[in-house]
Amino acid sequence: MKALFVITSIILLSFQIDRLLVSNLFETGNNIELLNHFVTGNHRAPSSLHPAPATRVQTSTAVVTTAAGGVKTTAVAEKNSLVKIRSTYRDQSVMNGQLHQSIKLSGNYLEMATLQFGFNQSKKEDTRSFNAILQMADLLIFNDSLRISIAGFTDNVGAMDYNKQLSMRRALDVKQYLLDLGVNDNQIMVSGNGYSNPVADNSTGKGRAANRRVEMMLIR
């Protein structure tokens, strides 16, 4: 047991160092970009619990004659395609969130762990959270019939749209941990739920802290 603990500690330390290096080297300062990568198909989407990423349409232009007789071109087809893709993944997130909440209320899940987040934070790098993610990853890797629902939430501070994006970034960060540990993409379902379904009173600081969370739910 002592040897196993030492090995796990070494894996944990090396993984955290890798995460910190990657974060420092590639941080863009624009947190919305991760969400945009996801909804445009650049971030891998689950193949079974999510719809397959739509193929990005080649830039198609429409020619419009102006009143002055000139001609201007607009990438109408590409713009419409991106809007449609974003809408698809927003709808999928809503459905995934509803399914997550339904399973949670029914109690028909195998295991659930909750990760807490600081105000306006979307990344987890503390040891306790990593250990919880590692335990879930072990179960998923050794039994590929299992699935996991990762649901992100926020407190009620700020605009609804921003909180939806923030909660999705939280869920996607946890998902990326699982992918890095070797979990199959098609075993993971994610949702960004904003400040819906609070578990505590948002009128208090303690309650808001409890609501800034990601729920990891293991299901069959």
Pairing of strands 147-152, 188-192: parallel
pLDDT digits (tens, 9 = 90+) for 32-79: 344 444 433 333 433 334 433 433 434 344 444 444 555 445 555 555
In which element (H, E) is residue 14 found?
helix 2-26
Q: Looking at the domain assignment, is residue 18 inside a domain?
A: no
pTM of the model: 0.66
Residue 164 maps to a domain: yes
Residue 56 lies in a domain: yes
Residue 115 has pLDDT above 60, yes or no: yes
- CA within 13 Å, CB half, 46: 25
1 inside domain? no
Q: How far apart (Å, rounded) are the C-alpha atoms in residues 107 and 51?
A: 26
Say if 139 falls within a structural domain: yes
Please report, for the domain that includes residue 206, its CATH number: 3.30.1330.60
Which domain, by its residues, includes 109? Answer: 30-219
Q: How many domains does the chain have?
A: 1
**Is 83 inside any structural domain?**
yes
Rg, C-alpha atoms of the chain: 20
Position 67 in a domain: yes
- Model pLDDT for residues 155-176, shown as the tens digit of each residue: 999 999 999 999 999 999 999 9
Beta strands 62-65; 71-74: pairing state: antiparallel
2 in a structural domain? no
> What average pLDDT does the segment 98-117 reach?
96
